[in-house]
Amino acid sequence: MASKRSYHHGNLRQALIDTALELVREVGPQQLSLREVARRLGVSSGAPYRHFASRRALLTAVAEEATARLGVGMRKAVAAHPQGSLRQVEALGRAYLEWAERSPMHFRVVSGRDQIDYAASPGMDLLNKELRSLAVQALAGAQQQGEALACNADDLAVLARATVYGLARMQHDGHFVQWGPGTDRGWERAHELLALFVSLLRARAGVPPIAAGCSPP
């Protein structure tokens, strides 16, 4: 069990968030308690309530920080490639997978929508809308350049997010063991499958529409 840790005066809020993340790693978000967070920090059991009204509020703050870090990576990824290119789409997906691999506890907290109060976090909602907009713009730009299938870009953005989220979820939950590769190359396999997904989005001359709402380029 982790020992008590100190924090700089005036930075209790961030210390609570950091310690909560450590506890999530140990016991999971469902078992997180404000009392234990306070004990780890060596503060009174009532101290966390100055910043967070409940365990759910603290986990929401962890999710906000996690989403902000995801946003930094995805903005850098899309900026590194030409606008109107499927390379932007793949870069966004890779940034998501890299975030999920590097920050598994952040991924776990953000994924547990039953453990956080998403409606009470306008900042997280705004950032998610921004990230979705990045995907839609990348897809729409690729369509305008004739690179991507002419399907509804908003629908394709949802499908793209579902793909990378599902791949990350499968890896974290150990499903890749049953679906081919060993756990030692699960993330590598996830990136390979992302590349396959992006290749399926590519427009091809003479290929008919593949689904309702799509049209040939």
For 85-110, write each residue's pLDDT tens digit. 899 999 999 999 999 999 999 999 99
pLDDT computed for residue 185 by the predictor: 80
Residue 174 has pLDDT above 90, yes or no: no
Q: Which of residues 198 and 1 earns the better pLDDT score?
A: 198
Domain 10-52 falls in which CATH fold? Arc Repressor Mutant, subunit A (1.10.10)
- One-letter amino acid for residue 190 of the chain: A
Give this prediction's pTM: 0.87
Q: Where residue 144 falls among pLDDT bands split at 50, 70, 90?
A: very high
First to last CA, the chain: 59
CA dihedral (73, 74, 79, 85) positive or negative:
positive
d(CA 202, CA 167) in angstroms, rounded, equals 20
Give exposure, 106-118, as e/b (b: 16+ Cβ within 10 Å): bbbbbbeeebbee
The residue assigned the tokens 């990045």 is 134
Mean residue pLDDT of the chain comes to 87
d(CA 210, CA 203) in angstroms, rounded, equals 11
The string of pLDDT tens digits covering residues 30-70 is 889 999 999 999 999 999 999 999 999 999 999 999 999 99
d(CA 138, CA 217) in angstroms, rounded, equals 17
Candidates 1.10.150.130, 1.10.357.10, 1.20.1250.20, 2.30.300.10; correct CATH number of 55-204?
1.10.357.10
pLDDT computed for residue 176 by the predictor: 80
At 4, give phi and psi (nearest 5°).
-65, 145
Specify whether the CB–CB gap between 173 and 179 falls below 8 A: no
Percentage of the chain beyond pLDDT 70 is 87
User: Would you kindly state where each structural domain of the chain is located, as residue ranges?
Assistant: 10-52, 55-204
- One-letter amino acid for residue 60 of the chain: T
